[in-house]
Amino acid sequence: MRLFKVVLVVILSLGVCSAFAADKEMKVGFVYVSPIGDAGYSYAHDVGRQAVEAMPGVTTSYVEAVPEGPDSERVMLNMARKGYDVIFATSFGYMDPMLKVAAQFPKTAFFHCSGFKMADNMGNYFGRMYQARYLSGVVAGSMTKSNILGYVAAFPIPEVIRGINAFALGAQSVNPDVVVRVVWTKTWYDPATEKEAAKSLLDVGADVIAQHQDSPGPQEAAEEKGVYSIGYNSDMSSFAPKAHLTAPVWHWGPYYTKMVDEVRKGTWKASSDWPGLAEGIVGLSPFGKMVPQNVKDKVKALEAEIASGKKQVFVGPIKDQKGEVKIADGVAAPDKDLLGMTWFVQGVVGTTK
């Protein structure tokens, strides 16, 4: 009982301390699903936050490793009560909690990453990561000798499936014989299992390992085996210096600063944003030394074409695994179809179930 009282006193005093906060400056809060030190998804968002912090007259703060669900609602509610002007919540599971908090604080601007629900003061956003994945596929397709690419993937949801398809299309564009083998781990961050999944792909002959996971486990497997790898989220070359070809990465800074600026000027209206290469939100990390110049040049040219809108990733004819045409010849798939993608393109070995 005494211990309980001590704990209570500590909790209360922490609460009182944090209640003292300066205002006048614009305050921007970020909610992250994982720790920022992980060179992964939340790290990338935090680099974006630092760009906001560098804006004059703006202070930022963040809460990391916030579990999705009721805990996140408490965190956002706390930020809103303290008078934060803008709140960014960067994981899918924050959607409904944010919607609830947004209804209570109509003057605060809310941004939710990767979801689909909106309100007058709550917009949503995500990046067209599939464009960068297409480019990384071009690199992988150029570098493979076995024509087998391994892809360690988290969960069979449209975001991940879209990325695998874009990767496969990119690889096939330079190497029609290439197949992409997919292993699902049903984890976002379990380095041991994800490394084991990469090893299982290496055992069936893959010589480039790509990943849609937040841990560098698959990179370690590729490095140890002496083959190539493609990272994700941010430059993962420190985990696999000899293997890491490149990585599709996030650059949230331009988007975050633009949104905060709009809110400050009062011009912001809640919208659903899906920026990509054109806005500089996604891109590739620096190439490894082993990537030849002609591949680099080709990727740079493609990057410019996609950014200018001259080229799109999902343009027909695109067939699914059974050989049925899913996107007709010359037709660019609309965003709605991309957001709900649940099928693999031809040349991907694996199941979306």
Partner 1 sequence: MSPEIIIPLLAAAVQSGTPILYATLGEIFTEKSGVLNLGVEGAMIIGALTGFLVSRYTGSPALGFLAAGVAGSLATALHGIVCLWFLGNQVVSGLALTILGAGLANYIGTPFVGLSAPGFSPFAVPFLSSIPFLGPVFFQHDILVYVSYCIPVVMVLFLTRTRFGLSLRAAGEYPAAATATGLNVIAYRWLGIVGGGFFMGLGGAYLSLAYTHLWTTNLTAGRGWIAVALVIFAFWRPGRAVFGAYLFGGIMALQLRMQASGTQISSSILLMLPYALTVFVLVLSSWRKGTSEEPAALGVNVEPTE
Reference 191, options 170, 221, 215; nearest CA is: 215
Q: Which residues bind partner 1 (CB under 8 A)?
A: 34-35, 37-40, 43, 64-65, 150, 156, 181-187, 189-193, 195-197, 199-201, 203-204, 206, 215-217, 220, 238-239, 349-351, 353
Our CB check for partner 1 shows the closer of 136 and 185 to be 185
Our CB check for partner 1 shows the closer of 39 and 135 to be 39
DSSP symbols for 99-144: HHHHHH-TTSEEEEES----BTTEEEE---HHHHHHHHHHHHHHH-
Q: In which residue are the tokens 């490095």 written?
A: 223
How far is the C-alpha of 151 from the C-alpha of 189, rounded, in Å? 15
**Smallest separation (angstroms) from partner 1 to the CB of 230:** 17
Q: Please list the alpha-helical segments (H only) found in the chain.
A: 2-19, 41-53, 70-81, 95-104, 129-143, 158-174, 191-203, 217-225, 253-265, 293-308, 335-339
**Smallest separation (angstroms) from partner 1 to the CB of 41:** 11
Q: What is the dihedral of CA 33, 34, 35, 40, to 10 degrees?
A: -120
Q: Is 130 exposed, middle or buried (0-12, 13-18, 19+ CB in 10 A)?
A: buried
Our CB check for partner 1 shows the closer of 64 and 279 to be 64
How far is the C-alpha of 277 from the C-alpha of 205, rounded, in Å? 32
**Smallest separation (angstroms) from partner 1 to the CB of 199:** 6
Our CB check for partner 1 shows the closer of 211 and 215 to be 215
**Smallest separation (angstroms) from partner 1 to the CB of 49:** 17
Our CB check for partner 1 shows the closer of 149 and 306 to be 149
Our CB check for partner 1 shows the closer of 215 and 229 to be 215
Determine the residue type at 135: L
Q: Residues 260, 52: contact at Cβ < 8 Å?
A: yes
How far is the C-alpha of 94 from the C-alpha of 72, rounded, in Å? 6
How far is the C-alpha of 236 from the C-alpha of 251, rounded, in Å? 15
**Smallest separation (angstroms) from partner 1 to the CB of 83:** 27
**Smallest separation (angstroms) from partner 1 to the CB of 344:** 11
**Smallest separation (angstroms) from partner 1 to the CB of 346:** 13
Q: Please give the distance of CA 125 from its chain centroid, rounded to a whole number.
A: 11
> Residues 6 or more apart from 175 whose CB is under 8 A from it?
141, 142, 144, 147
Our CB check for partner 1 shows the closer of 199 and 326 to be 199
**Smallest separation (angstroms) from partner 1 to the CB of 81:** 25
Q: In which residue are the tokens 């988007």 written?
A: 255
Our CB check for partner 1 shows the closer of 104 and 351 to be 351
> Residues 6 or more apart from 9 whose CB is under 8 A from it?
none
Q: Residues 57, 63: contact at Cβ < 8 Å?
A: no
**Smallest separation (angstroms) from partner 1 to the CB of 183:** 4
Our CB check for partner 1 shows the closer of 107 and 353 to be 353
